[in-house]
Structure 1
Amino acid sequence: MNKALLIIDYTNDFVANNGTLTCGKPGQAIDHAITHLAEEFLTNQDYIVFPTDLHVKNDPFHPETKLFPPHNLAHTWGRELYGDVGSWFSAHKNSNHVYFYDKNRYSAFVNTNLENFLRTHFVEELYLAGVCTDICVLHTAIDAYNKNFDITIPKNAVASFNQIGHEWALNHFKNSLGATIIEN
């Protein structure tokens, strides 16, 4: 059974101190853990997938326009991958086991070919990392569950700007989606 690590929305806008929708220090604190996981997955010839938010400024047709300021806009610093994760991606982006793609909804499955990619590569187990635990990671996990993927959440590789939402999502992953939560 193949595995894939989904590194969700780990961009400057969501993690850096001056990012538009930053989760700040909690997001920055998981940089090393995500990089370590990516290296482990690559060493094992598993897949590392970067579903990354992409928006158009003031898009009148996108529901997030009403909820959040413009973020993760194409060709901006804010959309670049953050920190060591960004450096890791730059060094390995040409690998056949590393896949970067745009998403425009909370879930990495909606309006994308993620499921097709995973099925054609015989991936059955997903590890979810990135931000925000209670938004994009949560919605991706729910879709993964509904599509019958096994889900693992490394607790030290997810973060949110809302600690209560973060803890709630971790409990939801375990108790409602049957996910395995790895403590370290």
Structure 2
Amino acid sequence: MREALIVIDYTNDFVAPEGKLTCGEPSQNIEERVTSILKQFHRQEKEIFFAVDVHEENDPYHPETELFPPHNIRGTSGRDQYGKVQTFLDELGADWPAHIHWHDKTRYSAFAGTPLELKLRERGIAHLHLIGVCTDICILHTAVDAYKRGFALTIHEDAVQSFNADGHTWALGHFKHCLGANVVTD
């Protein structure tokens, strides 16, 4: 079964101490693990998809406008990957290998309004590994959409995090007990 990694919203605005909607230390503490998994998939030349939240400045129509402060605004450094993950991308240079992809997303799920499913199906991928933030928001919505589309799931517990500890714990149980996901730590 072909596998792919989806790195969800591991951006400066969600992770850095000065991020506009940061998950804080819990998300910073998974940096090494996120980077390790990313490099492992890269070494094996497995498909890697960056699903990255994007918002337009002062967008009155986006449903998150009323829920959260402005974050991941197009053209800002808030959308850069955090820390060593951005260093990894910088070291690749302008010509990324064909197995690494970037998808802007405007909703919680990496599937909503993106070509992600098409790209996965074209490549015969049936198993998704999810890492990043936030466990109980974007990871959760992506996992539910993946489940509904018939993908097998692995959630790397030590490479996901949230700004809500209770939500994080709840989502991990939901992945395992309601979506049949393999929830793993290394």
Q: What's the TM-score once normalised by structure 1's chain length?
A: 0.98
Q: Deviations over 1:9-64 (max 9, x none)?
A: 00000000010100011111111111111111112221111000000122111100
Q: Counterparts of 1:43-62 in structure 2 under 5 Å?
A: 43-62=43-62
Matched residue of 1:139: which SS?
Answer: helix
2:77 corresponding residue in structure 1: 77
The size of the alignment, in residue pairs, is: 184
Q: 1: distance between equivalents of 2:142 and 2:3?
A: 16
Q: Counterparts of 1:79-158 in structure 2 under 5 Å?
A: 79-92=79-92, 94-158=96-160
Q: 1: distance between equivalents of 2:162 and 2:20?
A: 14
Deviation at 1:90, TM superposition (A): 2.1
Q: 2: distance between equivalents of 1:183 and 1:80?
A: 26
Q: Deviations over 1:100-130 (max 9, x none)?
A: 1100000000000000000001111000000
1:22 corresponding residue in structure 2: 22
Matched residue of 1:173: which SS?
Answer: helix
Higher mean alpha-carbon deviation, 139-148 vs 57-66, is at 57-66
2:167 corresponding residue in structure 1: 165
Question: What are structure 1's unaligned runs of at least 5 residues?
Answer: none
Matched residue of 1:156: which SS?
Answer: strand
Matched residue of 2:72: which SS?
Answer: coil
1:33 corresponding residue in structure 2: 33
Deviation at 1:131, TM superposition (A): 0.2
Q: 2: distance between equivalents of 1:152 and 1:64?
A: 27
Please give the root-mean-square deviation of Cα atoms over the aligned residues, in Å: 0.9
Q: 2: distance between equivalents of 1:109 and 1:90?
A: 26
Return structure 1 stretches of 4+ with deviation > 6 angstroms: none
Q: 2: distance between equivalents of 1:168 and 1:115?
A: 26
The one-letter amino acid paired with 2:165 is Q
Q: 1: distance between equivalents of 2:90 and 2:74?
A: 17
2:8 corresponding residue in structure 1: 8
Question: What are structure 2's unaligned runs of at least 5 residues?
Answer: none
Q: 2: distance between equivalents of 1:19 and 1:126?
A: 28
Q: What's the TM-score once normalised by structure 2's chain length?
A: 0.97
